[in-house]
Homo-oligomer: A and B are copies of this chain.
């Protein structure tokens, strides 16, 4: 299934990352002293986005592979970027559930999360993410999740 090309993003990748840096400083706070952010938005396109984790030693778990929590964060950020870019930059959208499968171990390095919006409703967005790494471009993990989108009135109120 291709992404829903009839959806129109309101923000591009650079705009999303500017928003995230301000609203979610914890996301890349360890990287103030590094050259590159751990999590970044590569692309926003109609019906989805691509996000990247530049995994380093601190993202590893026993066995020298990228930890489940680091991949969870990549998937969760992918969904967040989908919401922010397609439903509007409301920091208070929250994940209601996320189911993740880990398929292959992967070493430190870039991991791309290819995200599709499966449904964009008024109050809920469902998305999935293929997380791909390595020279062969293998899927290392896959996640499906739901974001709750605050009502627009409340949204204006809280900002």
A: residues with CB less than 8 A from B are: 1, 23-24, 26, 29, 57-63, 65, 67-69, 72-73, 76, 91-92, 94-105, 114, 118-119, 123-124, 126, 128, 130, 132, 139, 142, 144, 146, 148
Contact = CB atoms under 8 A, between A and B. Distances in A.
A1 B139 contact: yes
A69 to B, nearest CB: 4
15 contacts: A63-B92, A65-B94, A68-B72, A68-B73, A68-B76, A72-B73, A72-B98, A94-B102, A95-B102, A96-B101, A97-B102, A103-B119, A103-B126, A119-B139, A126-B142
A101 B135 CA distance: 32
Nearest to A99: B99
B128 A128 contact: yes
Q: What copy number does this chain have within its complex?
A: 4
B101 A97 contact: yes
A5 to B, nearest CB: 12
Contacts of A59: 26
A40 to B, nearest CB: 16
A91 to B, nearest CB: 4
A29 B58 contact: yes
